[in-house]
Amino acid sequence: MSWTTRATAHIRQFPVSKTLQTLLILLTVAFTPNLVVAAAAPYHTTNFTIYAESAEVAKEVGDKAEYWRKELSQEWLGKEMQNWFRPCPIKVKVGRLGAGGVTTFSFDRGEVFGWNMQVQGTLERVLDSVLPHEITHTILACHFRRPLPRWADEGACTLIEHESEKSRQIKLLGEVLEQGDRIPLRQLFSMTEYPKDMHNVMKLYAEGYSVSDYLVQQGGPRKFLAFMELAHQENWDKALKTHYNIDNVESLEKYWTKWTVAGSPRLNDPEGTMVAENTQTPAVTAKPEPPIVRGQSPEQSAPAVAVRTTSTAKASRLDLMLPVLVREIEN
């Protein structure tokens, strides 16, 4: 399949049960150019141009967008991305709306261009969930320069969302597993597009988030990207064996299921602390932001895991981890 000139829409899930097509139409309508004409003058940062209904919101979103772009590229790539040739326009709609966003861009001959981002929701959720989610899409697109499998793309982007958003995914996942209605991982991993019906879209998000969380908690963000790359070059089983020392997708499914049934407990404190724990509330924050812990060099994968739990908790936690990472701790 050719990836050239393929426009890609990345949708951050909305808490509504409509078809994806309807969702896209609603979004398009919601962000009509008329809104922009009536809005404040656009706010310009180095990499973004923000259109919002007030200058204050535009500035807050623009400054936060630059913050997330810098922090998340450090987190995922171990370095700050170069400035884009053209800024990414962000259209913002703030109010008592379901939190959501769409980012579109195109790939052509290994390049990514034509950014267009739309975000909406309460200002708090736009700043702490929708914006970092959508910006993670742009970072992954710049890194891989090709469309990613949807589960991993959406899963990785959801990792940075606020805990309240992630707990919605966990709740949905629990229901899906209880009903025996999951998308088997082998099938999930082969999906290059969103499913046609919204129920399956929601399952893709929930399972994609949970599997990404399970892997990133144990190996860190950069190992996850290396895993994705090898899966693209070879296949999922080879990539799992190489990076996580498990035989195949079905083995991963067994480990992951055991972990989810145990309530998806936190497994460690990898270098990706930030993507694992976004509990900050920038708009109304009273707490300091959580520390960002990184490896010493961009090439270094996660420094195993820091065990801070009691020995009893450690034993049960190890039981839920992938074998290769258990060995790293025990050594």
Give the interface with Zn ion as residue ranges (CB under 5 A). Answer: 10, 12, 154, 157
Nearer to Zn ion, 152 or 318 (CB): 152
Cα–Cα dist 251/244, whole Å: 11
**Phi/psi at 243 (5° precision):** -95, -25
Nearer to Zn ion, 57 or 140 (CB): 140
Task: Give the pairing type, strands 111-121 and 88-94.
Answer: parallel
Nearer to Zn ion, 31 or 43 (CB): 31
Dihedral, 216, 217, 222, 228 alpha carbons, nearest 10: -20
Min dist CB 155 to Zn ion, Å, is 9
The amino acid present at 137, given as its one-letter code, is H
Nearer to Zn ion, 154 or 269 (CB): 154
Min dist CB 154 to Zn ion, Å, is 5
Nearer to Zn ion, 137 or 222 (CB): 137
Min dist CB 310 to Zn ion, Å, is 37
Min dist CB 322 to Zn ion, Å, is 26
Min dist CB 309 to Zn ion, Å, is 32
Min dist CB 36 to Zn ion, Å, is 22
Nearer to Zn ion, 60 or 154 (CB): 154
